[in-house]
Amino acid sequence: GKQRVEDRLGDLNKPLSNQNLLTWKDTPLYNTPAVSSVPFGTLATNLRYPILSKLKDRLNQTWFQIRIGDRLAWVSSLDAQEDNGIPVLTYHHILRDEENTRFRHTSTTTSVRAFNNQMTWLRDQGYTTLTLYQLEGYVRNKINLPARAVVITFDDGLKSVNRYAYPVLKQYGFHATAFIISSRIKRHPQKWDPKSLQFMSISELRQIQDVFDIQSHTHFLHRVDAGRRPILFSRNYHNILFDFARSRRALSQFNPHVLY
């Protein structure tokens, strides 16, 4: 009879191919790539599984060939999806609708309601939130990840991250990355003012560390020139490396292993 493949990640933590399939449900495994074939087992849900090869049958249906232990198997594209990569959700500023009078039509400002709805959807769909270290491990074919995996990031280090994003993420048990402009860290918390862009203080950054991994968003190079172009684009490699080194030193009190 059918056998369920329970080795969820055992065989997967090996060097991966450049192509993977995603299983969103228990997925039938076939001996041959044909609609008339009888399933011999199932692949567990929420896997990211390496593909050996692909072909189309006479009905123009795509089949994926995979390896299960010491045998080969086929998966129909009707039952699994080809992997298009790990989604990265990027945020900057979060405000309540009623207090957002200055940044209402700014693409980098998200409402508290919208953010909460998005995080609720991810939680309800069973998504796992990743660190950038995990993402790099996957990109370098060192680790595997579940199908329902997502990276959540916040740029700049604004006070609204502590005030609004942090409680929502903590409530759902999610993790995220905060890219901090390290020269703008405040010594002491500022009084909340939704009409200005305020940056987190040392104590506010420490408070969010159980949810947020702290990484760099430059030290002094997050500015524009007279032509409104990012000055980062006009700096040479050594200038950028020097700025990153300064940023790493400033952030080392929160994360001694800043890499990004």
Domain ranges for the chain: 3-82, 88-251
* Whether CATH 1.25.40 fits 3-82: no
Q: What is the pLDDT of residues 98-148, one digit of tens each?
A: 999 999 989 999 999 999 999 999 999 999 999 999 999 998 888 999 999
β-pairing, 81-82 with 20-23? antiparallel
3-state secondary structure of 116: helix
Token couple for 206: 């420490």
Q: What is the DSSP letter of 47?
A: E
Q: How far is CA 55 from CA 19, 36, 234, 243, in A?
A: 14, 16, 47, 49
What pLDDT is attached to residue 167?
Answer: 98
What pLDDT band is residue 211 in, cutting at 50, 70 and 90? very high
Q: In this prediction, what percent of the chain has a pLDDT beyond 70?
A: 93
Q: Radius of gyration over alpha carbons of the chain, in Å? A: 23
Instruction: Assess contact for 23 and 73: CB atoms under 8 A.
Output: no
CA distances from 106 to 90, 91, 94 (A): 14, 12, 11
- The Cα–Cα gap between 145 and 47 comes to 7
Output the DSSP codes for 168-184: HHHHTT--EEEEE-GGG
Instruction: Report the SS3 class of residue 66.
Output: strand
CATH 3.10.580.10 fits 88-251, yes or no: no
For 73-95, the pLDDT digits (tens) are 999 999 999 999 999 999 999 99
Residue 164 is classified by DSSP as I
Placement of tokens 């080809």 in the chain: 82
Q: Take residue 134 and report the two structure tokens written for it.
A: 């995990």
pTM over 0.85: yes
pLDDT in tens, 178-200: 999 999 999 999 999 999 999 99
